[in-house]
Amino acid sequence: MNNLDQLFIVSLSGLAIVIIIGLFLPRQATWLAKLSPLLYVGQLLLLIKMASLVYIDAGSASEIQSSFHLHLLGEPLQWRFDALSWFFAIITVVAALFAALFMSGVWGEDYRKKTSANAYTMLHLGLLLNVNSMLLLLASGDFISLFIGWEFVSWASFFMMVLNPQKVARQAAMKYLMYAMTGAMALLAAMAYIYDISGSLQYDIVRLSMSHLSSEQIIPLVILFVVGFAIKMGVIPFHLWQAVAYAETPAPGAIFMGAISARMGLYAIIVVLFQLISMDNFAYIHIPYTFWNVQSVLAWIGALTTIIPTYIALKQNDARHLLAWHGVGQGGYMLLGLVIADNVGSAGGLLHVFNHATYQAALFMTVAAVMYRTGTSNFDKLGGLVSQMPLTFMVMVFSIIGLAGLPPMNGFVSKWMVYRSLLLDGQPLLFVAAVIGTLGTILSVYKLVHNTFLGQLRVEHQEIKEAPLTMLIPMLLLALIIFVTGVMPGLILDWIVPVQAAIGLPPLDYHLGGIILPTGGLDMIWLTLILFYGFAVGAVIFYLIGGRAKHVHQYDNYAGGHFLTAKVRYHYSHNFYAGLMHLIGGWYRGSFVRLEKAIVSLVSFLSQLAENFYRANQPTMLVVAVVVMAIWGIAVGRFG
Amino acid sequence: MDKLVLLVVLPLLAAFLMPVLARSSQVLARLSGLLVLLISITLVLNVWGEVDKQAISFAIGGYQPPLGVVFYIDQLSLLFALLIPVMVLIFWPWNRPSSIQEYSLMMLLTASASGLMLSGDLFNIYVFYELLAVASYGLVSVQVRQGQHPVVAWVASLRYLLLGSVGSVMMLLGIAIIYLQTGTLNLAQLSLLAPEALNNITGLSAFVLILVGLGVKAELFPVNTWVPEVYAGVSTRLSALMAGLLSKLAVIVIVRLLVLLFPQPEALHLMTVLGMLGVISGELVAWRAKDMTRMLAFSSIGQLGLVFIAFSLPGNIGLLAGFAIALHHLVVKPALFMLAGGWSGRLEKLSGMAQSSPYHVALFVLLAMSLLGVPPLPGFWVKLLLVMNLAVQTDPVYHFALAFMLLATVLEAAYLYRVVMLFYKKENHTHASSQHSLFDWITAIALAAVLLISVVQLPSVERKLVSMAYQSGNRLLYIHTVFANIGTPEARIDRMSPTDQAKQPLVSEPSIKEKAIKEDLVLGSAEQ
């Protein structure tokens, strides 16, 4: 019974506890809700006990094998943890812990009152199911267990999504299910292909047989795998399902899924493309009839994913949807960084997984807190909340600085590394694409913070207070993490360098404050000091040398050149980037939406055709069938 | 062993005696049917396990084969000999007042189905198949669904009758061709002669005719148009029995003939193609279906298509995959039909059902997941088995079949979960409520329990299926067993005990590759 077994037992017994209490002791459910973070604390402790996977010393093993295994269909099934699994697992469990903390307090009480005790238990169950299935996926040690984990994750996400009974959420969940099933079937097809090639679904054997594959064999294989996994990540062209589905789940679900769920796709891509089929080959595999190779195609997919969903986010008029669309877009940076496959870029991609989880969770929490107080996340109905909820505002500012990738927050470090490796690799076009993505991010996070917190307060919000303490604590903790890991990225790079080793990439040189490169590294500690020094200089100039400052009341400002008295509340938030949209609005063509509709119509058409067959005159059909078969039989006999 | 002939004789006797007996005592007549079923079950259970090592055959009435009538019993036929009375007992029309004629028909169905599974010659197979058909036509016209206008059901059953009789004639024609070619109808002797006599275009056309004939019952693609009408018209218990059991019986007969008589690859190809068309057309139409029973009927067509694809894989592995899918469908589809029994009418009327009957809905979700192949339910393992074995085939037609199957699964998810979403819709004033009879509900739970138990018992289920597949895929064993008593020259066929064969790896072809790669691995590590 090693730590991995214990981890599974703890997470499964958590599930059992919630189910038993939910079914048989509904009165105790409130206590359970209060104590639910402990379930994740237990898992976190076990993960910490397994930390020797990344803090490697002389005696530590590179893999922890679970003692539970099966042998079915002539294939062994096994579960194990390595540095890569550990890295994703700790993000998962910490994200769940924060979501549970957030949920265990006032938010949960409120949710229980608005819905029912049962629905609240279901929410806990959904979170636990998600964590369990993700751990199962991360521990998979062969393709069958990978597929099992993959399906579990898909269905657990679906379960979480349908907890919101509203129509928009249900439609999104159904759409997700279709995408997820398509992905699962693509994965199954890829597994079938692998089995055909190597005669086994065990990683060791597959890895060996992958090394002597021709490019004609490898391209369809990569396509099938990437389709399967990219659907979960919401990579272009499969980005349509994710944002609405994640945004519309109940807040803790959105916090958790926004932080980590979609990254399971990235994990699987890493396992297959890096650990099994070495990424080194991809630069040499040319796509027939084009001047691209597999690596550059993947990189461009990543780059387009940073751009398109981000600019879709810019048009959103609901804070949750805006954030969720960013979640899709940020996945592009991770993929882009990893696909470059050098030491800086891949570390940047992996680091971005962690960073994104922190600020995305914090952002969804701030939005949930605003929703708790105001009842809406619609930009048209918000504004000026900074005077009422200053701490929430501060957390949001920390997080959007991270999301936009500006110093000194953690998002900057990972994005810098991705940019840097693009430049080092000689990919200026990809660099420009990444920067265009970041531009869109900055524009839309400004929209987020402006439309929610800045400007004039609405009349109906005059009485509201700061978010309650149970919400503030996890939010502030996350803000702290965002800042600390921004200043000292070495803390997280400690985990990432062993992961690089585990997936066969060159390791990064780093120190506590940043990374070391022969052509100029990055030291966040110095950078932050200089930044604050600059602020200090600015403050000195402003307060000491500058003239008398006038304190302007929140209602005493206006925008857009309209002449308004201070009595008229005015907040410019609707159709926020009207000027910009005038310029780029024509680019939004909805091509992917139309493609999706076209596929549905095609299926509908085929279905009608098939139905006509079953309505046809049957004996006639029978005669026709026999004649056709007879002709076929004769033809085969004659020429076969 | 000879007692097993009672499996056919007793229900047949009961079928004809029950109406007579009913004149004196209704209760006695009704009880006698159940008694016969229970006796059948005990009979099979008594000899359960005896054929695990060696199949058994016996001649009826002392006339030796190839002239006499032969029963052949191996694990496959014994399993179905058990399943037939069990399923008939489960789907007995408990829930409604039925006439004695209906019971009589059920007994006729039992007798003919058992005969079909046990017979060792083509003539008897034809006779029992016809009997089975007659019994099912009768039942279809009698067991009209509640709320369904009887005329609609009669029209459906008339169509079924037409299609079925045309099919029977074709089958007879096929058998006639075989007889012309070989001069015998005994399966074992036919199997001996088949490599020369039937391995040609004539033999193939005989197979096609028989395939179409049996395909009517087996819901094979072009001759399955009766399925939606009939399943929507008759009581769900009968639909469950027909979709679950009767379709599989016809498939098993086809498979027997395929193994013993028709070694042509074209025969397998034909089955693959028809299976593919069945899968895709069935699932496509199910996607449009407006009520639950129709949806399940089309889904059943799709699943039977999968069964045909699986059985069309060459070798024992095809049998294994086919048995796995067929048995999975045999458990899941009847359970779904049982649930559908209480959910009649348009699908939209079921909106918000989860509020009034959460357990029924939860069971539906479980069964739907298994049907889709969500791990760790058995549906996943059978699909994985099929996928893996389709993939290793060199023939591209199997790769097309794989693609069709995967696409069909997405469609399946779409329509099954559209219903699930409807169930869980929050309705403020819902009128939806389940009208399940207690019997239906218990049946559904029992079948779901079987499903869940098989999850826990996966390795032993797998072992059983493997040994079954190897035994029923052994043509020589069949010949040898039937002719063991007379000592024909062909009896010198070297006999390999089926348990030894079962120890062979599941997939023969890639295992060689695998071995090579494993050796590579060992050598590689040795070098290091």
Contact of B320 with chain A, judged by CB distance below 8 Å, is answered with no
Give exposure, B47-76, as e/b (b: 16+ Cβ within 10 Å): beeebbebbbbbbbeeeebbeebbbbbbbb
CA distance A142 to chain B (A): 14
The two three-digit tokens of residue A623, written as one number: 């005669």
pLDDT score of A636? 67
Contact (CB<8Å) B225/A618: yes
Q: Which of residues 462-521 of B touch A (CB under 8 A)?
A: 462, 505-507, 510-514, 517-518, 520-521
Is there a contact between A636 and B520 if contact means CB atoms under 8 Å apart? Answer: no
Q: Which residues between 244 and 263 in chain B have a beta carbon less than 8 angstroms from any beta carbon of chain A?
A: none
Q: How many CB atoms lie within 10 A of CB A179?
A: 22
What is B243-266 written as a DSSP string?
A: IIIIHHHHHHHHHHHHHHT---HH
Q: With helix as H, strand as E and coil as C, how does A540-582 read?
A: HHHHHHCCCCCCCCCCCCCCCCCCCCCCCCCCCCCCCCHHHHH
Amino acid identity of B418? R
Average pLDDT over residues B342-371: 86
Integer Cα distance of A42 and A44 in angstroms: 5
B2 touches chain A (CB under 8 A): no
Paired tokens of A145: 């267990």
Cα B380–chain centre separation = 19
pLDDT at site B248: 92
pLDDT for A617 equals 65
Q: Which one is predicted more confidently, B416 or A116?
A: B416
pTM of the model: 0.89
pLDDT at A151: 93
The verdict on a CB contact (< 8 Å) between A174 and B421 is: yes
Least confident of A146-160, A516-530, B147-161, B249-263: B147-161
Nearest alpha carbon to residue B283 among A18, A606, A345: A606
Phi, psi of B394 (to 5 degrees): -85, -25
pLDDT (0 to 100) of residue A350 = 93
Q: Are A614 and B459 an interchain contact pair (Cβ–Cβ within 8 Å)?
A: no
CB A41 within 8 A of CB A101: no
Tell me B145's DSSP state: P
Q: What is the pLDDT of chain B when averaged over all its residues? A: 83
CA distance B146 to chain A (A): 23
Do A607 and B285 lie within an 8 Å CB cutoff?
A: yes
Nearest to B418 among A174, A604, A629 (CB): A174
Residue B393, token pair as written in the block = 């085939």
What residues of chain B lie within 8 A of the CB of A634, using their CB? Answer: 201
Closest approach of B476 to chain A, Cα-based (Å): 26
Distance CA(B385)–CA(A142), nearest Å, equals 16
CA-based nearest distance A154→chain B, Å: 10
At residue B101 the predicted structure's pLDDT band, cuts being 50, 70 and 90, is confident
Which residue stretches of chain A have pLDDT < 70? Answer: 58-60, 557-567, 617-622, 633, 636-640
Interface test with B, best of A196, A197, A201, A617 (most B CBs within 10 A): A196
HSE of B138 in the Cβ direction (CA atoms, 13 Å)? Answer: 17
DSSP structure string for B456-487? HTHHHHHHHHHHHHHHHT-HHHHHHHHHTTTT
CB neighbours of residue B486 within 10 Å:
11
Residue of A nearest to B510 (CA): A199
CB contact under 8 A, B205 and A630: yes
Give the percent of chain B with pLDDT over 90.
Answer: 29
**DSSP letters for A502-555:** HTT-PPPPEETTEE--TT--EEHHHHHHHHHHHHHHHHHIIIIIS----PPPTT
Nearest to A131 by CA among A1, A227, A13, A275: A13
**In Å, how far are A525, B44, B84 from B112, measured between CA atoms?**
85, 16, 10
Cβ of residue B230 closer than 8 Å to a chain A Cβ: no
Residue of B nearest to A620 (CA): B163
Q: Which among A195, A619, A632 has CB closest to B163? A: A619
Residue from the list A144, A199, A611 with its beta carbon closest to the beta carbon of B517: A199
**Host H or E run for residue B7:** helix B6-24
Cβ contacts (< 8 Å) between B372 and chain A: which residues? 181
In sequence order, what DSSP letters do the residues of A16-42 get, joined into one string?
Answer: HHHHHHHHH-GGGHHHHHHHHHHHHHH
* Torsion region of A270: left, alpha or beta (phi above 0 gives left; psi -120 to 50 gives alpha): alpha
Residue A223 CB: number of other CB atoms within 10 A? 15
**Chain Cα centroid distance, residue B317:** 17
| Interface test with chain B among A195, A208, A238, by most B beta carbons within 10 Å | A195
**Range in A253-267, A546-560, B381-395, B496-510 the model is least confident about:** B496-510
**Which one of A181, A193, A614 has the shortest CB-CB distance to B225?**
A614
The mean per-residue pLDDT over the stretch B375-404 comes to: 90
Give the closest-approach CA distance of B414 to chain A in angstroms.
6
| Interface contact flag, B511 A199, Cβ < 8 Å | yes
User: Model confidence over B430-462: pLDDT tens digits?
Assistant: 666 777 788 888 889 999 999 999 988 888 888
Q: In Å, how far is B423's CA from the nearest CA of chain A? A: 12
Encode A93-121 in three state secondary structure. HHHHHHHHHHHHHHHHHHHHHHCCHHHHH
Cβ contacts of A182 on chain B, cutoff 8 Å: 410
Spatial CA neighbour of B233 closest among B171, B316, B133, B158: B158
Which of B223, B391, B514 lies closest to A622 in CB terms? B223
Are A618 and B375 in contact (CB < 8 Å)? no
Report the residue of B514, B520, B523, B528 to disrupt the A interface, i.e. the one with the largest count of A CBs within 10 Å.
B514
A481 contacts A358 by C-beta, under 8 angstroms: yes
If you measure CA to CA, which chain B residue comes closest to A621? Answer: B222
Q: What gap in Å lies between CA A49 and CA B506, rounded to an integer? A: 40
Give the least confident one: A515-519, B55-59, B406-410: B55-59
Worst-scoring range by mean pLDDT, A517-531, B148-162, B388-402?
B148-162
Q: Which of B200, B285, B402 has the CB atom closest to A189's CB atom? A: B402
Contact B459 A185 (CB under 8 A): no
- Which of A185, A196, A618 faces B406 most closely, judged by CB atoms? A185
Kindly report whether the peptide bond that precedes residue B66 is cis, defined as omega within 30 degrees of 0.
yes
Predicted local confidence at residue A557, as pLDDT = 65
What's the confidence (pLDDT) of residue A564?
64
Nearest CA in chain B to A204: B521
Which residue out of A121, A621, A629 would a mutagenesis test of the B interface target, given it has the greatest number of B Cβ atoms within 10 Å?
A629
Q: Which two tokens stand for residue B397?
A: 């037609």
Residue spans per domain, chain B: 264-456
Cβ–Cβ < 8 Å for B391, A75: no
pLDDT 10s digits, B171-193: 999 999 888 888 888 888 888 88
Q: Which residues of chain A does B167 touch, with a Cβ-Cβ cutoff of 8 Å? A: 622
Judging contacts by C-beta atoms under 8 Å, the chain A residues touching residue B223 are 621-622, 625
Q: Which residues pair with A511 in a beta bridge?
A: A514
**How far is it, in rounded angstroms, from Cα A65 to Cα A4?**
7
Taken as a whole, chain B contains a residue count of 528
Nearest residue on chain A to B509, alpha-carbon basis:
A199
Task: Give the residue with greater pLDDT, A371 vs B157.
Answer: A371
In this model, does residue B352 exceed pLDDT 50?
Answer: yes
